[in-house]
Amino acid sequence: MEIFLKFLLVSLANFLVVSSQVVKNCKSGNIRYNCEECGMIRKKTARIIGGKQAFDSEWPSIAYVTLRYNFDLEINGQKNLFLYNRTCAATLINKRTLITGASCYEKQITFTYNSQVYTVNVKPNNYHPTIESIFNVYLGVTNIGSIRNGKKNAGLGVKVNIEKFIMHPDYSEENRLNDIAILRLKSNVEYSNRIQPACLPNSQIKNYPTKTNIPVWAGGWGVINSRGTYPDTLYVVQMSLLPSARCSLVLPSMLKNWNTQICAGVMAGGKDTCKGDNGAPLFIKDKINNVEKYVFVGITSYGESCAKKNRPGIYTKVSSFLNWINENSAFVNDNQSTVKTTKQPAIISSTFSSTTSSFLKNMCFDGFDDGFCDECGKTFKQPNVKIVGGIQAVPNSWPSMVFIKVFTVFNTQFYCGATLINRDTLLTAAHCLPKYGSFLPTVKAYLGYNDVSYVLKGFGTAEGIEVNSQSVKIHPEYDEDTFVNDIAIIKLAKQVQFNEKIQPACLPSSRTYPDKINLPVYAVGWGTTDPNVSKNIAILRNVKLTLYGKESCRTYTDFNIDIQICAGELAGGKDTCQGDSGGPLFFKDNYNNEEKNVLLGITSYGQGCALKNTPGVYTRVGNYLTWIRQNI
């Protein structure tokens, strides 16, 4: 299910480029490199074959993992000390959480010594008080030669300690199903040009990625040739995401579940992951806020041989485990030393190449734990709302409609809608005003407009007036993950004069207003009219929709009829979409025997645009009348 907010990111500005990585703002408000941008670029067996060496810091979310297990074994009455070594890879998703394969940790090891086969359970002992003490994790490394040579430092990277190893409870060692685990760190890592989190898939898109036969990238330090050579430098290989049927011949005796696994490789052979790459990430390229990023879609699990013709590899599908990841990942707060777990959606959705119009929500459990997400986070969410199936509005027929341009602390610009309710107050959606740490965005409001083409081109005003914001106030209980309480107030720097183009909207008379359903309602906005095109239109449009009850929005697990409204057309073809976020949902009613437009809802989010049986979700303005009055 694709959940789209309804604002549109239109441009990026003032960003740093460090080692080919787009980097954004930090909690302090200073622009430097240790901040919150995800997805930066800079198998029984699994390795990188047919790939090439990565540039230094090119893949800052990939971690090198070693397992060193010392144990005593009595043989012929004599105690012998053994050392078991294993290497894996993992992926950083926030300052305190990495994702790897459950197969990286083996509960039992079998080996031959003096022609005798022995099996040992891997568990805490005199050398290792916990399972976690077996792991050694290195972040920010590309060349691991010094680590392999026994040096204690990680060169230009850092070695981090593991607080908790969490294996998926349904992991099947026999079939490698649910081959995923979490490595929770003891303390936060500092982001740098060498260390950055990966973007997770959008939690609302089922079976992400939704297409096959697209390029994917795998990276690791596993075997790179038939001679079994392990490289000192990270290797990366480009392959293809393949239909599941292409993996039907890969170890056919092993059960497979294509709801939780991905098939990737090259059917002609020659390119693959291999031994030593277990737990390594599989990425696809996608766009987040019009910036191309690598999205973490798979975890290297197993394969049959390496780089063999007609034998692709099997990878764990990350999108199938987002709820489990959210529930078990560390919630990061730089002001606290304790680690909490919190349920927050991962990541990240956006326009998938040229497929669906979806928003890549950067990973943040806090994926961008400083309180901002990045789009893989918390930062830039691209909701999906536009006027689809509507018509151009008659000029000045919606005089309370306001076009707003939102500027984040990075000077990133978003376009949203808003509604004038008095001479200096606008209502909009909270998700239109992304907050980064303690920094709130600023707003330019354009009132009295029907055609915003001059504004979109950056030429300033033409037919209406432009007013700066004095302050913005987001509802204190707004939830960035579920979009509950998705409402905000913008106070203008000056009062506006009412005229035929500029008039305030009427507010509802009660919390439950209106008390009936199946009524006609009207949505207004400058959002895109094509779900596959993330671009605002210049001429205001309006669409007539139907007000539904909660049953029509049952596909949204967090929908709450007491504070939200369900509206659209069950037959499809009419809806709001990208760029309409924050705009109004009106209901025509009689006030003092005169028909008026009553502000019933605020455009919040939806699944796709104008799809059959998928109405949109709007914030119920009547529920917030007391809060509005207290803050205007």
3-state SS, 369-429, equals: CCCCEECCCECCCCCCCCCECCEECCCCCCCCEEEEEEECCCCCEEEEEEEEEECCEEEEC
One domain, residues 363 and 412: no
Instruction: Tell me whether residue 180 is exposed, middle or buried, using C-beta atoms within 10 angstroms of its C-beta: 0 to 12, 13 to 18, 19 or more.
Output: buried
- List phi, psi (to 5°) of 520: -75, 135
User: Does the pLDDT at position 4 exceed 60?
Assistant: no
One domain, residues 99 and 236: yes
How far apart are the C-alpha atoms of 414 and 38, rounded to whole Å?
19
Q: Which amino acid type is present at position 29?
A: G
Task: Give the domain-ending residue among 455, 473, 492.
Answer: 492
How far apart are the C-alpha atoms of 599 and 618, rounded to whole Å?
11
Count of the separate structural domains present in the chain: 3
Domain assignment of residue 178, yes or no = yes
Task: Give the domain-ending residue among 327, 347, 378.
Answer: 378
User: Does the pLDDT at position 600 exceed 50?
Assistant: yes
How far apart are the C-alpha atoms of 375 and 339, rounded to whole Å?
22
Q: What is the distance of C-alpha 2 from the center of its chain?
A: 12
One domain, residues 137 and 190: yes
Give residue 31's pLDDT.
26
Domain that holds residue 210: 25-378
How far apart are the C-alpha atoms of 500 and 567, rounded to whole Å?
29
Domain assignment of residue 482, yes or no = yes
Domain assignment of residue 185, yes or no = yes
pLDDT digits (tens, 9 = 90+) for 188-234: 998 888 888 998 887 667 678 888 888 888 888 888 776 677 777 88
Q: Considering the chain, what percentage of its residues have pLDDT values greater than 70?
A: 75
Catalytic residue among 272, 481, 486, 580: 486
Rg (CA), the chain: 27
Q: Catalytic site residue 475?
A: no
Q: Considering the chain, what percentage of its residues have pLDDT values greater than 90?
A: 29
Catalytic residue among 357, 469, 552, 581: 581
Give residue 343's pLDDT.
24
One domain, residues 373 and 400: no
Torsion angle, alpha carbons of 522, 523, 526, 530, to 10: -100
One domain, residues 218 and 354: yes
Catalytic residue among 370, 431, 475, 481: 431
One domain, residues 353 and 464: no
What is the DSSP track for 254-284?
A: S---TTTEEEEE-TTSS-B--TT-TT-EEEE
Task: Give the domain-ending residue among 331, 352, 378.
Answer: 378
DSSP designation for 625: H
Domain assignment of residue 157, yes or no = yes
Mean pLDDT of the chain: 76
Domain assignment of residue 256, yes or no = yes
One domain, residues 196 and 336: yes
One domain, residues 355 and 433: no
Q: What is the distance of C-alpha 546 from the center of its chain?
A: 31
Q: In sequence order, which residues have a C-beta less than 8 Å from that of residue 43 and are 6 or more positions away?
A: 176, 273, 274, 277, 278, 300, 301, 302, 303, 304, 313, 314
Q: Catalytic site residue 486?
A: yes
412 within 8 A of 11, measured Cβ to Cβ: yes
One domain, residues 159 and 306: yes
pLDDT digits (tens, 9 = 90+) for 422-459: 899 999 999 999 877 677 889 999 999 888 888 887 76
Give residue 179's pLDDT.
95
Give residue 17's pLDDT.
23
| pLDDT classification of 315: cutoffs 50, 70, 90 | very high
Give residue 35's pLDDT.
36
User: Does the pLDDT at position 522 exceed 70?
Assistant: yes
Biggest alpha carbon distance in the chain? 101
Domain assignment of residue 427, yes or no = yes
Report the predicted TM-score, pTM, of the whole model to 2 decimal places: 0.50
How far apart are the C-alpha atoms of 525 and 385, rounded to whole Å?
9
Determine the straight-line distance between the first and last CA of the chain, rounded to whole angstroms: 37
Give residue 486's pLDDT.
95
Query: Which of the residue ranges 123-132, 151-160, 533-542 would you say has the lowest mean pLDDT?
Result: 151-160
CATH number of the structural domain spanning residue 584: 2.40.10.10
Q: Catalytic site residue 534?
A: no
Domain assignment of residue 19, yes or no = no
User: Does the pLDDT at position 9 exceed 50?
Assistant: no
109 within 8 A of 122, measured Cβ to Cβ: yes
One domain, residues 407 and 369: no
The kind and range of the H/E element at 147 are helix 145-148
Q: In sequence order, which residues have a C-beta less than 8 Å from that of residue 52 and are 6 or more positions away?
A: 235, 236, 237
One domain, residues 93 and 150: yes
pLDDT digits (tens, 9 = 90+) for 277-305: 889 999 988 877 677 788 999 999 988 87
One domain, residues 547 and 613: yes
How far apart are the C-alpha atoms of 24 and 14, rounded to whole Å?
9
Domain assignment of residue 513, yes or no = no
2 within 8 A of 384, measured Cβ to Cβ: yes
Give residue 572's pLDDT.
83
